[in-house]
Amino acid sequence: MSVNFDYQRPERLGMPEAVLCEGKSFQHIQDILSELSERNDYPVLFTRLEQSQFEQLPESLRQRLDYDELSRTAVLNGQLPKRWGKVAVVTAGTSDLSVATEAVRTLTFSGVETSLVADVGVAGIWRLMERVKDIAEHDLIIVVAGMDAALASVMGGLVGKCVIGVPTSVGYGVAADGTTALNSMLASCGQGIVVTNIDNGFGGACAALRILSMADSVFYREDG
């Protein structure tokens, strides 16, 4: 299968170039990697690239990639220039770290300064209270949580900044597929929380990029 990339898209929308590996055959992934690895000036992020797939790649390609096992992401051709804005990615539990790290890696790749605040779920609310002041100093907060996802509601009540909820499929029984976390965030008693698909750390990061790009308008109009 020939690869047919639209090299202008990142510029047009301001989104990073990203390849979702899930649902693609190994051959297809390898073809894409081969083509893109020939363009040193075109940074690309690969998401949901399983470790077993990474390890099957030829040594030459593997060496070109900055691969992270926890988030299943790989970066090719370096990262994008630094952009305005600071983002906090906050998780309820350690099992949410895989999704949270996908968000952190996407933002860092895109040039955004990002902090990871792990394990501040509401079952031990004091852990969150100790960190709230730090978190509130960021421009935007991504809350990554599974099960009851109560952290999103509490965060929305503590901080007036934009809160993006990323529900995770952590848990079992009624929680297992992340639907409860998703619905809990959507039905949150906290005003103005917005939500992405389950386990979509990449999507949460892209939403942050769209929002942070608003700063350009501010500068522009201030200048004007």
Binding to its own copies, residues 99-128 (CB under 8 A): 119, 121-125, 127
Q: Taking Cα atoms as reference points, which of 104, 109, 47 lies closest to residue 82? A: 109
Binding to its own copies, residues 142-161 (CB under 8 A): 147-150, 152-154, 156-161
106-128 residues labelled b (16+ CB within 10 A) or e (exposed): bbbbbbbebebbbebbbeeeeeb
**Beta carbon of residue 58, minimum distance to its own copies (angstroms, whole number):** 22
Q: Alpha-carbon distance 11 to 144, whole Å? A: 28
The correct pick among 41, 59, 217, 224 for binding its own copies (CB under 8 A) is 217
Residue 23 touching its own copies (CB under 8 A): yes
Amino acid identity of 157?
Answer: G
Binding to its own copies, residues 28-67 (CB under 8 A): 28
Is 13 or 78 the residue whose CB approaches its own copies more closely?
13
Residue 195 touching its own copies (CB under 8 A): yes
Q: Alpha-carbon distance 117 to 57, whole Å? A: 33
Is 67 or 84 the residue whose CB approaches its own copies more closely?
84
Residue 201 touching its own copies (CB under 8 A): no
Joined tokens for residue 10? 């990142």
72-103 residues labelled b (16+ CB within 10 A) or e (exposed): bbbbbbeebeebebebbbbbbbeebbbbbbbb
In 38-176, which ranges are continuous DSSP H helix?
51-56, 59-64, 97-109, 125-136, 150-158
Is 13 or 63 the residue whose CB approaches its own copies more closely?
13
Binding to its own copies, residues 72-101 (CB under 8 A): 84-85, 92-95
The correct pick among 41, 52, 60, 173 for binding its own copies (CB under 8 A) is 173
| Range in contact with its own copies (rule: CB under 8 A) among 14-22, 38-46, 59-67, 71-79 | 14-22
